[in-house]
Structure 1
Amino acid sequence: MAGNSDPLTPRAKLAVTAGKAVAAASRAAGRGSGSVIGGKVALRLDPDLLARLAQNLDVILVSATNGKTTTTRLIAEALRAAGPVVSNALGANMPAGITSALAGGSDAKFGVIEVDEKYLAGVARDTDPKCIALLNLSRDQLDRAAETRMLAENWREGLAGSKAVVIANCDDPLVVWAASSSPNVVWVAAGQMWKDDAWSCPSCGGVMQRPGDDWYCGECGFRRPTPSWALSGDHVLDPHGSAWPIHLQLPGRANKANAASSAAVAAVFGVPPQVALERMYQVQAVAGRYDVVQFQNRDLRLLLAKNPAGWLETFSLIDPPPAPVILSVNARGADGTDTSWLWDVDYTRLTGHPIFVLGDRKLDLAVRLEVAGQHFQVCENLDQAVQLCPPGRIEVIANYTAFQDLRRRVGN
């Protein structure tokens, strides 16, 4: 049920019940959470189910190339100060997974939903969100995802005239261009380390000028908007100029940026920055990311990096040399099968670290590291890599399915 004031139709109730039964059977068979298959069955029985489930919720959508799962968790924690929350916390972010998540939230006030970039326009159409957070766009899954400007265009067209308050990162030109079709945008200066997908103007194709932290197109005048909220060191600056300390257990600049955007979202629903930021401290790890686990009498910190922008942020998190680093890369369906993105990652940042390489595409990674002048050893599996590592905490960086493989091996 989506709420007592507007009960679901008999067909919708049947769809929810059938979806939950299929999900439970999938879990019992050891095939994961079952949320995706359950949602697919439910949507097959009632194609309008997602819209029905969303109709009594204040829906918040979160989309980006990097940081959506973490930001969704941070927003959900902040909004619990204002009422019960239902969320797809495990990252099943396409319509089937989203439907499954909402079906489990009968008493919720807020639906905080992570959405895959390619599905944002459709999910926004179905769920009538009150708020949409747009964090960044960069190259990812090159064999499947459209070129980044096409994704931005999809967002721009899909969100044109939306009634939602759009919380958007003003430091990413692609996000700004996508959000500019919306009548109600709140700009957040969340920063952007990776700039290699925004050298040409998304509006006219001209060359972007980037003096300092600013950016503008010298040809058409498209430029960085003035932010209402900003990340400033370890603080969030609100629209009144007050600085609020960021309290996080999650590491790194990127997570402070996620917290700044999350505070801006929470404020839309009346949760003050101080309350929102204090509640975000509860988040220790997100679907295994940032967890430190014991394995073979060693401490392994598990870090997820799926694309060049993500690897760049992750390199800024790791302990300084000579901390050992294990890198694992796969190229399965969920990762994207094209590994040419490895050549966009600056692996010279690992100079001085002992490096150990594994995963389905360890040889692709080895060639890339060789060209970057790095010293490394290719390993058959995690056990061998850990045994070869010198003493001390081990930083383990993996892309999507490689990360899932590692979690299974360490029992996380």
Structure 2
Amino acid sequence: MSQLPLRAQLASALGRTAATLSRATGRGDGSVIGGRVGLMLEPDLLRKLAADRKLVLVSATNGKTTTTRLITSALQELGDVATNAFGANMPAGHVSALASNKDAPYGVLEVDEKYLPEVLDTTNAGLVCLMNLSRDQMDRAAEIWLLAQKWRRALAGRPVHVIANCDDPLVTWGASTAARVTWVAAGQRWREDSWCCPECGGPLDRSGFGNGGQGLTAAQMADTNWACRECTFRRPEPSWVLDGEYVTDPRGQHWRLDIQLPGQANRANAAVALAVAETLGLDPARALPRLRMVTSVAGRYTTVERDGRSLRLLLAKNPAGWLEAFDVADPALPIILSVNAQGPDGRDTSWLWDVDYRILRGRPVLVTGERRLDLALRLAVAGVPFQLCDSFEQAVGLLAPGKIDVIANYTAFQQIRAEFGRAV
């Protein structure tokens, strides 16, 4: 990297100091406050820190933190990588990430969907990774068609290479204005937000069937072709294809995704990560061992111990996320569900009614969190027996020693992590 101007150096240093103090005083990991301090002193700090790096921006509704971690792990085979590992995915977090490793030749940044145009404009990143779009934080986030439209406008006319999931029609539409696109058939289990053509509004013919992807056979899950009945918009031909535990590269070679992160969604994340890594010159044979080293991501999939109980922590923030969490959860184990509705979650919990909870029948279900009554009503209507608990600690205490799955939305998940020292 070129030498930063003196003002930017000072802003960067003071930001790192603020982040260190935040961690030392137990106020957080410092990934936001450090960036805010830096931007106060030098508003153009992100642009200056991004200059002369090979930068990847990763955006999606679900899976962007995990995919960012996987890409970062792979690229460490090539050199140092600056990244926002804990999910601070707005400009302040990006400043903190780049300032904390100012000499790294590579940068991999998770980016909030709504902030992608701004961050792309500021950083002039050469590579953008787009994976999925679905409803999320319904009272705060823009309507997802509007987000896809913002992506289209941001990518148009830029010399940027996009790696995009062609199985998601909204992502395909959002990415299709880019100068160069590498299409990855990474799958789309949750289809309830993409039955209409984003180009003309007509109906999309979709393979398989609906019901949020529940009940789909393996063959139906693999058959993700789609096309509009009323215009020419259709699924592009992919260069990379995910098929169960394998991904096929553009040369037709098959690679087994024997990663340690569980579930089909994480194999999709890994397939995208491989495509990104190869675009930056890293062969899949060298990237795959790096992907296998990732065992948890900011607490996701971590197993923690308490009083003889092994609790596996799963994050689910929206209907699509809950569907993927159910795919990972062990049907033979009791399960604790925790839901809040704080600012980062969105105040509106009506999305709970879009989740099919009937899959939980037949296992012990305990419900906690600030909005436990909302979730309890949804379970009652779905005919799922449950036990209501005033706290997470009470829920754990009611279960016998052994293995337990825990699914929580964002702030509930962070509260549970805090109880165990923010295990990562």
Coarse TM-score class (shorter-chain normalised): over 0.9
Structure 1 distance, partners of 2:238, 2:393, is 48
1:387 maps to what in 2?
Answer: 397
Instruction: Give the C-alpha shift of residue 383 in structure 1.
Output: 2.0
2:203 maps to what in 1?
Answer: 207
TM-score by length of 2: 0.94
Structure 1 distance, partners of 2:9, 2:415, is 36
2:334 maps to what in 1?
Answer: 324
Structure 2 distance, partners of 1:244, 1:270, is 17
1:216 maps to what in 2?
Answer: 227
2:318 maps to what in 1?
Answer: 307
1:352-391 Cα shifts (integer Å, max 9, x gaps): 1110000000000000000000000000112221222245
Structure 1 distance, partners of 2:271, 2:24, is 39
Letter in 2 for 1:158: A
Secondary structure (helix, strand or coil) at the match of 1:303 reads: strand
User: Do 2:331 and 2:360's aligned partners in 1 also have CA atoms closer than 8 Å?
Assistant: no
Instruction: Give the C-alpha shift of residue 194 in structure 1.
Output: 0.2
Same amino acid, percent of matched pairs:
59
Structure 2 distance, partners of 1:282, 1:256, is 14
User: Do 1:289 and 1:304's aligned partners in 2 also have CA atoms closer than 8 Å?
Assistant: yes
Secondary structure (helix, strand or coil) at the match of 2:184 reads: strand
1:136-195 Cα shifts (integer Å, max 9, x gaps): 000000010011101111111111122121000000000000000101000000000000
Letter in 2 for 1:349: I
1:25 maps to what in 2?
Answer: 21
1:341 maps to 2:351: yes
Letter in 2 for 1:216: A
1:248 maps to what in 2?
Answer: 259
Structure 1 distance, partners of 2:235, 2:334, is 40
1:34 maps to 2:44: no
Secondary structure (helix, strand or coil) at the match of 2:343 reads: coil
1:95-135 Cα shifts (integer Å, max 9, x gaps): 00100110011221110110010100111111111211001
User: Do 1:247 and 1:278's aligned partners in 2 also have CA atoms closer than 8 Å?
Assistant: no
TM-score by length of 1: 0.97
Give 1:166's match in structure 2, choosing from 162, 169, 172.
162
Secondary structure (helix, strand or coil) at the match of 1:393 reads: strand
1:289 maps to 2:300: yes
- Show the 5 A alignment for 1:123-162: 123-162=119-158
2:59 maps to what in 1?
Answer: 63
1:27-72 Cα shifts (integer Å, max 9, x gaps): 2332101221111121121111111111121000000000000000
Letter in 2 for 1:347: Y
Give 1:84's match in structure 2, choosing from 77, 80, 85.
80
2:219 maps to what in 1?
Answer: none
Letter in 2 for 1:355: V
1:236 maps to 2:247: yes
1:323-354 Cα shifts (integer Å, max 9, x gaps): 10100000001111110010011101111111
Structure 1 distance, partners of 2:76, 2:22, is 30
Give 1:403's match in structure 2, choosing from 405, 408, 413.
413
Structure 1 distance, partners of 2:101, 2:402, is 43
Would you say how many aligned residue pairs link Structure 1 and Structure 2?
A: 407
User: Do 1:78 and 1:266's aligned partners in 2 also have CA atoms closer than 8 Å?
Assistant: yes
User: Do 2:309 and 2:403's aligned partners in 1 also have CA atoms closer than 8 Å?
Assistant: yes
2:9 maps to what in 1?
Answer: 13
| Between 166-175 and 389-398, the greater mean CA deviation after superposition | 389-398
Secondary structure (helix, strand or coil) at the match of 2:247 reads: strand
Structure 2 distance, partners of 1:293, 1:325, is 14
- Name stretches of at least 5 consecutive residues in structure 2 with no aligned partner: 209-223
User: Do 1:289 and 1:303's aligned partners in 2 also have CA atoms closer than 8 Å?
Assistant: yes
User: Do 1:54 and 1:102's aligned partners in 2 also have CA atoms closer than 8 Å?
Assistant: yes
Structure 2 distance, partners of 1:216, 1:22, is 51
| Between 78-87 and 329-338, the greater mean CA deviation after superposition | 78-87
1:356 maps to what in 2?
Answer: 366
| Between 88-97 and 209-218, the greater mean CA deviation after superposition | 209-218
Structure 2 distance, partners of 1:330, 1:197, is 23
1:263 maps to 2:274: yes
Structure 1 distance, partners of 2:69, 2:419, is 25
Give 1:120's match in structure 2, choosing from 101, 116, 122.
116
Aligned-pair Cα RMSD in Å: 1.0
- Name stretches of at least 5 consecutive residues in structure 1 with no aligned partner: none
Structure 1 distance, partners of 2:249, 2:31, is 37
Instruction: Give the C-alpha shift of residue 393 in structure 1.
Output: 1.0
Instruction: Give the C-alpha shift of residue 24 in structure 1.
Output: 2.3
| Between 397-406 and 25-34, the greater mean CA deviation after superposition | 25-34
Secondary structure (helix, strand or coil) at the match of 1:334 reads: helix
User: Do 1:324 and 1:390's aligned partners in 2 also have CA atoms closer than 8 Å?
Assistant: no
Secondary structure (helix, strand or coil) at the match of 1:250 reads: coil
Instruction: Give the C-alpha shift of residue 410 in structure 1.
Output: 2.9
Structure 2 distance, partners of 1:48, 1:383, is 45
